[in-house]
Amino acid sequence: MIMVTRKNFLKDSLLLTAAMMLSPKSLLGKSLGTGRKLKLEKDDVILFYGDSITDGNHNREITAPSKPDGLGGGYVMSVSSYLAEKYPRMNFNFYNRGINGNKTFQMIDRLETDCFGLKYKPTVVSVLTGINDYSLSLRNTGKGNPAEYEAKLAELLDRIKAGLPGVRLIVLEPYAIAGVREKTDSFLPGFYEYQPVAKKVAENAGAVFVPLQKHFDEAGKKYGKEKFSRDGVHPWSAGIELITRAWIDAVEV
Amino acid sequence: MDRRDFLKKMSAAAAGAVVAGGLELNASERRRRGGSDKPGAGSGLELPEGSIILFTGDSITDGARERKYYRLYNHIRALGNGYVQLTATRLNYMFPDRDLKIYNTGINGDTIEKMMARLETDCIKLKPDFVSVLIGVNDFNVSFSRTGKGNPDKYEREYRQMLDRIKSALPDVRFIIGEPYAVKGAREITDAWYPEFETYPAIARKMAEEFGAAFIPYQSVYAEAAAGAPERYFSTDGVHPSIAGVRLMSNAWLSYVNPR
What's domain B3-257's architecture?
3-Layer(aba) Sandwich (3.40)
Q: Which residue of B has its CA nearest to A95?
A: B243
In which residue ranges of chain A is pLDDT below 70? 1-35
A57 phi and psi angles, rounded to 5 deg: 65, 35
Beta-bridge partners for A125: A47, A169
| pLDDT at residue B35 greater than cutoff 70 | no
B43 pLDDT band, cuts 50/70/90, is low
Chain A environment of B233 (Cβ under 8 Å):
88
Chain segment B133-146, per-residue pLDDT in tens: 999 999 999 999 99
Which domains are delineated in chain A? 1-30 (no CATH), 31-252 (3.40.50.1110)
Cis peptide before B195 (omega within 30 of 0): yes
CB B174 within 8 A of CB B45: yes
The C-alpha of A157 sits at a distance from chain B's nearest C-alpha, in angstroms, of 28
A78·B89 Cβ contact <8 A: yes
Under 8 Å between Cβ of B29 and B216: no
Residue type, A176: A
* In chain B, where the domains are located: 3-257
Ramachandran quadrant class, B50 (left: phi over 0; alpha: psi -120 to 50; beta: rest)? left
Nearest to A88 among B79, B93, B229 (CB): B229
pLDDT tops 80 at residue B53: yes
Distance, in Å, from the CA atom of B63 to the CA atom of B242, rounded to the nearest integer, reads: 11
Q: What distance in Å separates the CA atoms of residue B140 and residue B109, rounded to the nearest whole number?
A: 11
B246/A68 CB distance under 8 A: yes
Residue A185 is predicted with a pLDDT of 87
pLDDT of residue A247: 98
Q: Is the pLDDT of residue B78 over 60?
A: yes
> Can you give the pLDDT at residue A80?
98
Which residues of chain A does B19 touch, with a Cβ-Cβ cutoff of 8 Å?
Answer: 22-25, 222
Residue A155 or residue B35, greater confidence? A155
* Inter-chain touch B243–A28, beta carbons under 8 Å: no
pTM above 0.90, yes or no: no
**Integer angstrom CA distances of residue A133 from A42, A101, A151, B121:** 35, 9, 12, 42
**Contact call for residues B245 and B234 (beta carbons, < 8 A):** yes
B106 touching chain A per CB within 8 A: no
* HEC letters along chain B: CCHHHHHHHHHHHHHHHHHHCCCCCCHHHHHHHCCCCCCCCCCCECCCCCCEEEEEECHHHHCCCCHHHCCCCCCHHHHCCCHHHHHHHHHHHHCCCCCCEEEECCCCCCCHHHHHHCHHHHCHHHCCCEEEEECCHHHHHHHHHHHCCCCHHHHHHHHHHHHHHHHHHCCCCEEEEECCCCCCCCCCCCHHHCCHHHHHHHHHHHHHHHCCCEEECHHHHHHHHHCCCCCCCCCCCCCCCCHHHHHHHHHHHHHHHCEC
The Cα of A36 is separated from the nearest Cα of chain B by a number of Å equal to 22
Place B187 in a pLDDT band, splitting at 50, 70 and 90.
Answer: low
The closest CB to that of B244, out of A72, A88, A223, belongs to A88
Residue A35: per-residue pLDDT = 63
Q: Which residues of B touch A89 (CB under 8 A)?
A: 228-230
Any residues with CB less than 8 A from the CB of B8 and at least 6 apart, and which?
Answer: none
Instruction: Give A82 to chain B, closest Cα distance, Å.
Output: 6
How many whole angstroms separate alpha carbon A129 and alpha carbon A194? 10
Q: How far apart are CA A85 and CA B221, in angstroms?
A: 12
Residue A89 Cα, gap to closest chain B Cα (Å): 6
Q: What is the pLDDT of residues B195-232, one digit of tens each?
A: 899 999 999 999 999 999 999 999 999 999 999 999 89
CA B10 – CA A87 distance, rounded (Å): 36
**Residue A17: its pLDDT value, please?**
45
Say what the pLDDT of residue A27 is: 41
Task: Kindly report the nearest CA distance between residue A75 and chain B, in angstroms.
Answer: 9
Sign of CA dihedral A194, A197, A201, A207: positive
Q: Which residues contact A98 (CB under 8 A, 6 or more apart)?
A: A48, A49, A50, A51, A52, A53, A54, A55, A56, A58, A72, A74, A76, A128
Closest Cα partner for A233 from A125, A103, A135?
Answer: A135
More confident residue, A184 or B98: B98
Please choose, from the candidates A250, A166, A154, the residue with its C-alpha nearest in 3D space to the C-alpha of residue A202. Answer: A154
Task: Please compute the mean of the pLDDT values over residues B21-39 and round it to a whole number.
Answer: 40
Quick check: A85 and B244 CB within 8 A? yes
What lies within 8 Å, CB to CB, of A61 at 6+ separation is none
pLDDT at A13: 46
Q: Distance between CA B25 and CA A207 in Å, rounded? A: 29
Of B117, B116, B91, residue with least CA distance to B103: B91
A to B CB pairs, distance under 8 Å: 122
Which B-chain residues 114-143 have CB contacts (< 8 A) with chain A?
none
Please say if the pLDDT value at position B38 is more than 60.
no
- CB contact (8 A) between residue B63 and residue A80: no
From chain B, the residues in CB contact with A24 under 8 A are 19-20, 22, 93
Q: What pLDDT score does B231 carry?
A: 87
3-state secondary structure of A61: coil
CB B244 within 8 A of CB B234: yes
pLDDT of residue B191: 75
- Among chain B residues, CA nearest to A87: B229
Rounded to 5 degrees, what are φ and ψ at B76?
A: -55, -35
B236 touching A (Cβ < 8 Å): no
Q: Do B229 and A89 touch (CB under 8 A)?
A: yes
A237/A230 Cα distance (integer angstroms): 10
Q: How far is A127 from chain B (nearest CA, A)?
A: 21
Residue B189's pLDDT is what? 64
B243 touches chain A (CB under 8 A): yes
Q: What angle do CA B189, B190, B191 make, to 5 degrees?
A: 130
Residues in chain A whose Cβ is within 8 Å of chain B: 22-25, 28, 56-59, 66-69, 71-74, 77-78, 80-82, 84-86, 88-89, 91, 94, 219, 222-224, 227-228, 236-238, 240-242, 244-245
The C-alpha atoms of residue A52 and residue B214 are separated, in whole angstroms, by: 36
Best of B68, B89, B102, B222 to disrupt the A interface (most A CBs within 10 Å) is B89
What pLDDT is recorded for position A6?
47
